Amino acid sequence: MKIILTADRLLTPSEIIESPVVVIEDERIFAVGARNAMEVPSGRRFDFPGTTLAPGLIDIHIHGGAGHDVMESDASGLNALERSLRQSGVTAYVPTTVTAPMEVLLSALDMLGKHVAQKSSNTGVRALGIHLEGPFISHAKRGVHPTADLLQPSPALLERFWQASHGTIRIITIAPELPGAVETIEQARKLGIVVSLGHSNANAAETQAAIDAGAAHATHTFNAMRPLDHREPGILGVTLTDVRLTADIIADGIHVAPAVVDLFIKAKGLERAILITDAISATGKPDGSYRLGEMEVTVRDGRCEHEGKLAGSVLTLDRAVRNAVAFAGIPMQAAVTLATLNPARRLALEGDRGTIAPGRVADLIALTSSGEIAFAMAAGQITAA
């Protein structure tokens, strides 16, 4: 049976359709159009007056939520995480690891890889692959990643991680100044992995060499990066200005000031900026102590810390979208693009996700006038907020 959705308007997100109708069949979008321009078929109908339909949100950097870390040995935690993600409008995500002892990391990659390979879930929310954040990062800009477990990048080590993940690593964060980084970047591109530059003290020349080798993205811009200098712009200056890079940012008002979110979006433009959460297991839970990989993190008043340093966030992606509107003064349509179409394009999945069009996966959300989630649909499954 077909499912029919109606609302006041729709963001595809590249265009706006007033009084839209979306027809769903077999977990895919069958038809999209304005109510006065198409024949509405019979089926199970859901009307959402006063709301705006948009694509489901895509988080490409997330460590956990609902009390669960993605590196837990029990994959059942991922199901709880996915249920909580759908409540915040996220219908697809890239579970992100942190630096850990080799045996722990390999075990996590095995578990996550098997989950990704299932290509389905009870909630409809889809894990799109793994984001390997660490161990190929800088000691100087490691953040809370444990020093003892950092490793120099090499194609051989990357291949070991790739095999452990069953070929499901989708993104890798790497510090381009490390010995072996360029060769590892080249190997990652051969495997189809998106190389993201981050946790790095690289100068401008080292960053540009990495981009020449195939790096195409930057991880949580400003955080764990060499600061900008007017004579040596470093990795941050290149990230903000090189059109070959997309880049993401944690728009929670804690990791970077609101004015810096505005600067970032202006510098990267609406086609190259991506919103992420960097959320940890504490997301959606009360203040207290939680896990990030092997580390204990204290959460108080929205701030996550390990040994006095920021350690992820409790940001949700729907709030990041609202924050982008508030911090940068951009329209909701543009903010939605930063969390839907742009991450889908970065992962080369725009033919499947990130936009509302016939043939795409039926991942949709309805937003209230204030940007809150009124309902979410993941692969044709509906959940009320």
Structural domain tally of the chain? Answer: 2
Q: Are residues 68 and 50 in the same domain?
A: no
Residue 351 resides in a domain: no
User: Looking at the structure, do residues 167 and 228 belong to the same domain, yes or no?
Assistant: yes
Domain boundaries, position 375: 3-54+359-384
Measured CA to CA, the distance from residue 120 to residue 141 in angstroms comes to: 36
Q: Do 130 and 21 share a domain, yes or no?
A: no
Q: End-to-end CA distance of the chain, in Å? A: 23
Task: Let me know whether 127 and 250 are in one domain.
Answer: yes
Residue 12 CB partners (closer than 8 Å, separation 6+): 32, 55, 355, 356, 357
**Domain-embedded: residue 284:** yes
| DSSP designation for 64 | E
Residue-wise pLDDT for 141-182, tens only, equals 999 999 999 999 999 999 999 999 999 999 999 999 999 999
Give the pLDDT score at 126: 96
For residue 268, being part of any structural domain is answered with yes
**Residue 203 within a domain:** yes
Q: Provide the CATH number for the domain around residue 114.
A: 3.20.20.140
Q: What was the pLDDT predicted at 384?
A: 58
Question: How many Å apart are CA 333 and CA 337, to the nearest integer?
Answer: 6
Q: Is residue 261 part of a domain?
A: yes
Q: Note whether 38 and 101 are same-domain residues.
A: no
Residues 123 and 156 in one domain: yes
Same domain membership, residue 21 and residue 62: no
319 assigned to some structural domain: yes
Instruction: State whether 380 and 297 are in the same domain.
Output: no
Structure tokens at 171: 């993104």
Q: How many CB atoms lie within 10 A of CB 85?
A: 31
Residue 24: which of 43, 47, 9 has the closest Cα? 43
Per-residue tens of pLDDT for the chain, all 385 residues: 899 999 999 999 999 999 999 999 999 999 999 999 898 899 999 999 999 999 999 999 999 999 999 999 788 899 999 999 999 999 999 999 999 999 999 999 999 999 999 877 778 999 999 999 999 999 999 999 999 999 999 999 999 999 999 999 999 999 999 999 999 999 999 999 999 999 999 999 999 999 999 999 999 999 999 999 999 999 999 999 999 999 999 999 999 999 999 999 999 999 999 999 999 999 999 999 999 999 999 999 999 999 999 999 999 999 999 999 999 999 999 999 999 999 999 999 999 999 999 999 999 999 999 999 999 999 999 865 5
Residues 71 and 171 in one domain: yes
Same domain, 25 and 72: no
Residue 87 lies in a domain: yes
Contact at 8 Å (CB) between 100 and 146? yes
**Residues tagged active-site:** 278
**In this structure, what is the dihedral angle of CA atoms 55, 132, 121, 297, given to the nearest 10 degrees?**
-90
Q: Is residue 353 a part of any domain in this protein? A: no
CATH of the domain at 29: 2.30.40.10
**Are 332 and 378 part of one and the same domain?**
no
Q: Look at the chain and count its residues.
A: 385
> Looking at residue 36, what DSSP letter applies?
G
Q: Do 22 and 98 lie in a common domain?
A: no
